[in-house]
Amino acid sequence: MTEETTPLIELRDVKVHFPIKSGLLFDRTVGYVYAVDGVSLSIRKGETYGLVGESGCGKSTLGRGLLRLVEPTDGEIVFDGTDVRALKGEAMRQARRRMQMIFQDPLSSLDPRQSVESLLVEGLKAHGLAGDKAETNRRLRETLEAVGLPASALSKYPHEFSGGQRQRIGIARALVLNPDLIVADEPVSALDVSIQAQVLNLLEDLQNERGLTYLIIAHDLAVVRHIADTVGVMYLGGLVEEASSDDLYREPMHPYTRALMSAVPVPDPVVEDRRERILLAGDLPSPTNPPSGCRFHTRCPWAQPTRCADERPELRDVVGGHRVACHFAEEIAAGRIRPHEVEVELVRPTDGTGPVDPPGELIPTP
Amino acid sequence: MSLLDVRDLSVVFQRRGERPFTAVDKVSFTVEPGQTVGLVGESGCGKSVTSLAIMGLLPKRGNKVTGEVLFEGTDLLRLRPDDLRDRRGREISMIFQDPLSSLNPVIPIGIQVAEVLERHQGRDRKQALRESRDLLDAVGIPDPQRRLSEYPHQISGGMRQRALIAIALACKPRLLIADEPTTALDVTIQAQILTLLKQLVDETGTALVMITHDLGVVAGLCDTVNVLYGGKVVERAPRHELFAHARHPYTHGLLNSVPRLDSPRGERLHAIRGSVADNIPWAEGCAFAPRCDNVVDACLEGPPPLEPTAGGGDLRCNNPVSEEVAVR
């Protein structure tokens, strides 16, 4: 195998379930939030993997589970040949040097009382890399330069920077440890449009210079398409489609991906006027009580009687590495199944977390 | 006569001991009946403050609003508070970004819709609730009868935004101001809400002022687009004209800096350098000059005027991007 094809990290059937506790004295577990429910994927060295999905689909939980910032319930996470889940204490801590994270909101992920220097040195110290003062100093300056900040930034505090610059500090903090894998959870969604491009370009430059591997988690399909080589689409805790970025955007095969793609507004009136929208009915079902069979069948305009509701589709290779979790992917692509109207099912934010009082009536129904 | 004619609207925030800050700087635009007008810009450009000033919703203290907001010839800024309240919610209404914080959490949704009808149309509670049910049905809320007695926390974000739209449209206003109505929502829900807004605007003939940072939303919805930067309108054009030939370097840069679903991959994004913090005050020149690639000496000698262009819009720039340079 060449270096290009070796997976740096591989997830096998990873599950993250959060228990829902109830009761005053004894915490009874009354149910689970199935945040991530059986995801398998692999990311090659030097590749950018984009994970997209709407809020509540489990994409962030998967990113955190991968670094064991939340403990996965089940499954295997193999990073460069070692099973991360089997690592304990000190070994895990050391493994983290090679897997770093960039968070969405730089203001809340940077300690307001720490100067930039102290923010960056903290990680180095934790990994015993801050021994030589001159060497540390050189490393800090180099990292700041790489993310496009002046060396004078070292003595400043996070609040003295603009949003884009703060995100650069967040990137510098991840970068200073010289990691192999960076998990970026919504790295640009808190930034203004004109600043987003700066940060995206920076991430690309850093990858080219240092051969980094990225897992980019985002809800913005256009951003993910731009930066990722491979894209995985998540819906309600599971991957529904995975393909190379070009394939996925040229021909989305899962009904959910199609709907998602058709919903993204394009800043071009000519395109906007003639494109067809696939409008999904209703909201995302609650992950505490996911639908049976295919998770998407309750909102799917192509859903077919009984099989979609009974049998959970596997993520299978449909054409040349294009993996889709849909029983009827080929039929839909060939146009043999036509979309139909979907009855809206009401989704409650409280679904499954306890008894919901039946609502009373304000006007008596005739 | 235009439905809404905003003339030289300025909002200056003044806190004791601090320098006054001009959030909105002599903004003028018009809205014709049934038209959809976009106000686009990034955070801090004054788009939301403009809408709050039009609605008279800015706090009484700490700011100074000047200019004219003519709604069918009546200046809303000079109206007595009682008269303004009679119009707000009946003739002009507004939808906000975050539906959870703009709905009252302790009052059932039905009552919140009904109270608009009671206040403005003089309906009694029973009749108002009956109409509320039809309104909730019209905005696509399933099982509206039962929703009437539910509280905002019991329904999802998309449904809340629908409820808010029902409240805003209850009295069939002639003007609806939507301030980032879909920013807090997921894309598939955003598509639902935008489709709903478009459909309601078409059906009722309501004029819409759409305030957003998302150029994609504007592209599919607005007839005319105003681009704001640093509190001033820097470019105004019909939407096809704006997206095909953006003349202002800021608009041009903005269009080039967003990754698009339909553009070829692997191209580098053309970022606008610097950030809003680099702006200079308009009195000293063009606020965008420090970030602009087209900057010329005249840009630092005072604010450029807003001048009409051949394409039917207006432009505030000394050295605009040539018309031949297409976006991307």
| CATH code of residue B17 | 3.40.50.300
Report pLDDT for A194.
82
Cα dihedral value B249, B37, B214, B173, nearest 10: 160
What does residue B244 show for φ and ψ, rounded to 5 degrees? -85, -45
Of A259, A261, A267, the CB nearest to B255: A267
Percent above pLDDT 70 for chain B: 98
Of A263, A284, A356, the CB nearest to B191: A263
**Same domain (yes/no): A312, A182:** no
Report pLDDT for A4.
53
**Same domain (yes/no): B257, B215:** no
Q: Is A252 left (phi over 0), alpha (psi -120 to 50) or beta?
A: beta
Q: How far apart are CA B161 and CA B183, in angstroms?
A: 11
Domain end marker among A208, A230, A250: A250
**Same domain (yes/no): A211, A119:** yes
Residue A360 lies in a domain: no
Asked if B43 and A192 come within 8 Å (Cβ–Cβ), the reply is: yes
Q: Which residues of A touch B268 (CB under 8 A)?
A: 201, 204
Q: CATH no. for residue A85? A: 3.40.50.300
3-state secondary structure of B232: strand
Q: How far apart are CA A196 and CA A182, in angstroms?
A: 18
Cα dihedral value B113, B114, B118, B120, nearest 10: 20
Q: What is the ipTM of this complex?
A: 0.83
Q: How far apart are CA B180 and CA B190, in angstroms?
A: 11
Q: How far apart are CA B186 and CA A220, in angstroms?
A: 9
pLDDT in tens, chain A (366 residues): 344 568 899 999 999 999 888 777 777 888 888 999 999 999 999 999 999 998 888 999 999 999 999 999 999 999 988 999 999 888 888 888 999 999 888 888 899 999 999 999 999 998 888 888 899 999 999 999 999 899 899 999 999 888 888 999 999 999 999 999 999 999 998 888 888 899 999 999 999 999 999 999 999 898 999 999 999 999 999 999 999 998 998 889 999 999 998 888 888 888 888 888 888 887 888 888 889 899 999 999 898 888 898 999 999 998 888 999 999 988 888 888 888 877 776 666 655 444 444 444 444 444
**Same domain (yes/no): B216, B290:** no
Residue A366 lies in a domain: no
CA B234 → CA A30, A131, A213, B240, B289, distances in Å?
A: 57, 53, 41, 17, 12
**Same domain (yes/no): B154, B263:** no
Q: Do A262 and A276 form a contact (C-beta atoms < 8 A)? A: yes
Q: Which residues of A touch B147 (CB under 8 A)?
A: 359
Poorest-pLDDT segment among B28-42, B138-152, B261-275: B261-275
Report pLDDT for A167.
92
Taking the CA of residue B77 and the nearest CA in chain A, the distance in Å comes to 31
Asked if B145 and A365 come within 8 Å (Cβ–Cβ), the reply is: yes
- Burial code (b: 16+ CB inside 10 Å, e: under 16) for A255-285 equals bbbbbbbbbbbbbbbebbeeeebbbbbbbbb
Of A204, A219, A249, the CB nearest to B261: A249
* Amino acid letter for position A157: Y
Number of domains, chain B: 2
Residue B198: both structure tokens together: 């478009």
Q: What angle do CA B253, B227, B258 make, to 5 degrees?
A: 35
Q: How far apart are CA B241 and CA B307, in angstroms?
A: 16
**Same domain (yes/no): A267, A241:** no
Asked if B271 and A194 come within 8 Å (Cβ–Cβ), the reply is: yes
Taking the CA of residue A341 and the nearest CA in chain B, the distance in Å comes to 14
Asked if A344 and B142 come within 8 Å (Cβ–Cβ), the reply is: yes
Q: Which residues of B touch A346 (CB under 8 A)?
A: 142-143, 155, 159
**Same domain (yes/no): A128, A11:** yes
**Same domain (yes/no): B196, B152:** yes
* Amino acid letter for position A277: R
Containing structural domain, residue B249:
245-315
Report pLDDT for A360.
45
Only one residue has tokens 């605009």, namely B320
CA B326 → CA A243, B214, B307, distances in Å?
A: 32, 20, 21
Containing structural domain, residue A54:
3-250
Kindly state the average pLDDT of the residues B246-252.
92
**Same domain (yes/no): A138, A283:** no
Report pLDDT for A23.
74
Name the pTM for this structure: 0.86
